[in-house]
Structures are given as C-alpha cells and as structure tokens.
Amino acid sequence: MTDELFALLQPAVSAADLELVDVELRSGVLLVTVDRTGGVDLEALTDANRSLSTVLDDLDPIPGTYTLEVSSPGVERTLRTPAHFVKAIGETVTVKTRPQVPGDRRLRGELLAADEDGLELAVEGSAEGRMRLAYSDIDRARTVFVWGPEPRPSGPRPRATTQQERVAPKTTQKKKRKQVATP
C-alpha cells in the first residue's frame, strides 16, 4: 500500500515545489516526509499538509481513520528512489536486504556509488569490502547520523576547594636563636 500512496501523493507534493521523500502508514498514522533544496520551513510543511489532506479526502485511499503527519526528513533520512541514493553518496547508510538475498540482511557502510540500477556500498566489518546491490534486493535503507570526534574538554579549570589550596604556600625561614648558657 505504501507504494500506491507514494504514487498517489507525488503530484500534490511536486505541485507544492517539494520532493516526496517517504510515505509510511503504521498504527493509524500516515507519515509523509517531504524535502527541498535548502530545507523545508514550517510554512511549506503546513501548505503540504493542507494539499495532501485535500487529496486524501477526495480519493479516500485508506480505510478507517488515521492521522496525517507531514514532516521534513531530519538527519537520518529514508532512501527510496535512485535520486535519494545519489544524494547520499559519501554518507554512512544502513541497508536491510530482502530475505532472498544471500549473506547478512543488515548492512552498514559508506555509500560509494548509486545509479539507476543499484548501489555500491563499502560494508563496515566485511571481508569482501565493497558490495553491489540492486534496488530490487533492498527492503529498506536510510542514512545514519555519525557524531563527530569526541569534543575536547573546555570551560574553566577545576578550582581549588580549600582556602589553603587557593593561596600559594609561603616559604618560611626559622629564626636563629642565640643560645645563652645560664648558670
């Protein structure tokens, strides 16, 4: 049903000068993800929500009640179309293959290349290294947000906790006393 909804909603999203990234229906929520070059602002999301709501009300493709949510892709984006994969070249991605594909079903690595037929992935921790997958072999794929290197500690240095530690110790000299012998 997701592919049918994707095809059904595509014209309305394109008319709003947006790109349809993903459509997902689960637990009574229809989540539509849209994007555009430079990002999507709140006004564009509101306009897309109104347009999509009208299309869905007119065509009524989903039985029962559901909630429509329209959002931007965020830092971890679903990859559905060849164009999505091409835009993600050089990024870390996770790919879940279909059951009939031999080997591990869950792969993670750098997306090296993508074209109209499939993609090439440098699989993390794999003896083979590079792997070529046809889009028809992929069940799901998304980008992975990778945190940068651990930041260096910054801010104030630890403070002394006692008055004695705050003040540099003074060096003292003992006074020499005259020893006087008394009878």
Which are the contacts of 135, defined by CB distance < 8 A and separation ≥ 6?
82, 85, 117, 118, 119
User: What is the domain class of 82-143 according to CATH?
Assistant: mainly beta
Structure confidence by residue, pLDDT tens digits, 48-60 = 999 999 999 999 8
pLDDT score for 39: 87
Residue type, 182: T
pLDDT at 172 over 60: no
Q: Is the pLDDT of residue 61 over 70?
A: yes
pLDDT tens figures, 115-159:
999 999 999 987 778 999 999 999 999 999 888 776 666 666 666
Per-residue pLDDT at 45: 94
Name the residue ranges covered by the structural domains of the chain. 2-71, 82-143
Domain 2-71 has CATH 3.30.300.70: yes
Residue 180: band (very low, low, confident or very high) from pLDDT cuts 50, 70, 90: low
pLDDT, tens only, 80-103? 889 999 999 999 999 999 999 998
The model's confidence at residue 67, banded by pLDDT at 50, 70 and 90, is: very high
pLDDT of residue 160: 56
